[in-house]
Structure 1
């Protein structure tokens, strides 16, 4: 089996199209996809502009944080959870024009499951402690 490390910016529509293509290839060939995320915004950071993590809410930075949370917390095959999250979240953004960081989005993804570490991963504060 061949492993493919696919680096994506969740906000990029071309990366989304590439993710759909690699899923088609995966269905026809014996490959395993490892989903990797990065921020084009950060890679192309302009001096004087805030970094994504310096803003109260960064629309594009939240998805990689959730993907990292899934990879760390998922039972069993973390790549399956990350793949499923990315597929749903990206479809919502690029095809449906809806946001995954809403209650509707979280319900559609089925992750993250409620709990203190979920709240922190999604950018909120854990007020239970």
Structure 2
């Protein structure tokens, strides 16, 4: 019986997914991946990347407006708390914590609310003291290591979301709205086929609408 359960678990495809909680496009894609889990043998493996690290350090802040630079400096906060939480409780906590933070930042549109982090920690059963990581550099190297794992492969000319399918790291899919049910599964099937194509690099079109979190 135990062997049968183990074999069933081994049939699932683990999909590393790098996110920054602040990014609305990554949020939509992450909700799509949760839908895929319902209709395909797929499991998300949540990992951290940092828009602040990418834009302020790796890209040296080139071309950033003053407003966006300020946003990027603030973007360290939630990423640091996520990594501190993973160090405290294990990486399995990243999925629930991301959902708790992202729901408040994006669905509830509370980006300027300082209570988002403490509420999200409480919702996921984590100590409020982890909120202090937001202003600490203690975990920054761990953030950079996780980030670099993805971006050393996918390149610095993209952002988030980044996921890896069958050994291939890809930027995207960038979605206005998360497909549900079998539609989510069909998009996964197509993406998996593209990822398996040797030498594939890019499909893209200009964005003409804002993300929808419904």
Q: Normalising by the residue count of structure 1, what TM-score does the alignment of the two structures yield?
A: 0.69
CA-to-partner distance for each residue in 1:5-45, whole Å, 9 max, x for gaps?
Answer: 01122222111100100011112222221112212343233
Alignment correspondent of 1:114: 128
Q: Hey, what's the Cα distance between the residues in 1 that align with 2:79 and 2:116?
A: 19
Gaps of 5+ in 1: 50-54, 125-129
Q: Hey, what's the Cα distance between the residues in 1 that align with 2:22 and 2:82?
A: 13
How far did 1:120 drift? Answer: 4.0
8 Å contact from structure 1 (residues 89, 100) kept in 2: no
Gaps of 5+ in 2: 1-11, 65-69, 137-214
RMSD: 2.9
> Bigger relative contact order, structure 1 or 2, given CA contacts below 8 A and separation 6+?
2
Paired residues in the alignment total 113
**4+ runs deviating over 4 angstroms:** none
Q: Hey, what's the Cα distance between the residues in 1 that align with 2:41 and 2:121?
A: 26
8 Å contact from structure 1 (residues 92, 100) kept in 2: no
Q: Which has the higher helix share?
A: 2
CA-to-partner distance for each residue in 1:66-85, whole Å, 9 max, x for gaps?
Answer: 111121111xx632x21111
CA-to-partner distance for each residue in 1:109-128, whole Å, 9 max, x for gaps?
Answer: 4254134xx2542326xxxx
Q: Normalising by the residue count of structure 2, what TM-score does the alignment of the two structures yield?
A: 0.45
Match of 1:71 among 69, 82, 86: 86
8 Å contact from structure 2 (residues 81, 131) kept in 1: no
Q: Hey, what's the Cα distance between the residues in 1 that align with 2:131 and 2:104?
A: 21
Residues 58/32 of structure 1: CA separation in 2 closer, same or farther (3 Å cut): same
